[in-house]
Amino acid sequence: MIIAIDGPAGSGKSTIAKLLAKELGFTYIDTGAMYRAVALKIKRLGIDPDNKEAVINVLKETDIRLKNNEEIKVFLDGEDVSSEIRTEEIGKIASKIARYTEVRKILVEMQRKIGEEAKNAVIEGRDTGTVIFPNADIKIFMTAKPEVRAERRFKELKEKGLNVSYDEILKEIVERDKLDTTRKDSPLKPAKDAIIIDTSDKTLKDVFKEILSIVRSRLSTK
C-alpha cells in the first residue's frame, strides 16, 4: 500500500507522515529531504542554484540515501546531513533546483524505486500523488493558511533555540509557495482524487486521528 501525502511548507505533512508510518509499520519516504540534500551540496560547492547545467552535473555525481531505523536519517554521499538540511535557506535553494525537469526526473526515479522496494510506504512531498505514484492507494493533500504555517515553523525553530523572526518566516513561506505552485514541471497541486485537509483550525493530533481512520477503513476493504 502506498499512501501519498502532499502539501506546502508548514502544512504539518512531515509530522503526520512520520506518525502514520510509525503507527502502520510502513517505510517513510521524505522526498523533500532529497531535494534538500542536493541543495546542501550545491551550497557547499558555491554553485549558483540558477545555473541549471552545473546543478544537474552535480546531481549526476551525487548519492542520496534515506534510512529508516530508530531515527529517520538522510545521507548525502555517505554523510549524515539530517539536521543540516533543515534550514529555511536550504529549503529555498531546494525549491529553486526543484524547478528543473532533469533534476525532477532523476529524483522521481529514485523515489519510485524506494517506494516499490518498500511495498508499504508513506511518501510525502509536493508531487507524490500527482507524479511519483499517481496510482497511490490513498492520497492526502494537507494545507493551512500561510500565517498558521509560519506560526508553526516559528515555534518549531524557536524551540530548537534558533533566533528567528516570524515576519521573515512568513515571507519565505509565501515565496516558496509561489515557486512551488507556479513551476511548469509538477507544480504543487492536489491530485484530482486527493482528500484535501485544511489543518488551519485543527491540532495535528486531530488530523492524525482523521487520516488514520481513513487509512484503517481503506485497509479493511483491501
Binding residue for ligand DC (CB under 6 A) from 24, 49, 55, 126? 126
**Backbone dihedral angles phi then psi of residue 67, each to the nearest 5 degrees:** -120, 130
- Would you give the binding string for ligand DC spanning residues 193-222, x where CB under 6 A is met? ------------------------------
For the record, the C-alpha cell of 205 comes out as: 493530533
Whichever of 197 and 220 has its CB closer to ligand DC, that residue is 197
**Beta-bridge partners for 132:** none
Q: Which range, of 20-28, 47-55, 123-131, 200-208, touches ligand DC by CB under 6 A?
A: 123-131
* Closest-CA residue to 179 (of 171, 187, 169, 168): 187
Binding of ligand DC at residue 153 (CB under 6 A)?
no
Q: Least distance in Å: CB of 32 to ligand DC? A: 2
Residues in contact with 95: Cβ distance below 8 Å, sequence separation at least 6, in sequence order: 35, 176, 179, 180
Q: Select from 31-39, 40-48, 145-153, 167-175 the region that touches ligand DC (CB under 6 A).
A: 31-39
Q: How far is the CB of 158 from ligand DC (least distance, A)?
A: 18
Identify which of 146, 145, 170 has the alpha carbon closest to the alpha carbon of residue 157. Answer: 170
Q: Listing from the earlier edge strand, what are the strands of the sheet with 27-30?
A: 27-30, 121-125, 2-6, 138-143, 195-198
Q: Pattern 163-192, binding to ligand DC, x per CB under 6 A?
A: -------------x---x------------
**43 DSSP β-pair partners:** none
Using DSSP bridges, classify how beta strands 72-76 and 27-30 pair: parallel, antiparallel or unpaired.
Answer: unpaired
- Considering only residues 82 to 121 of the shown chain, the ones binding ligand DC according to CB under 6 A are 91, 94-95, 98
Q: Which residues contact ligand DC by CB under 6 A?
A: 9, 31-32, 35-36, 91, 94-95, 98, 125-128, 176, 180
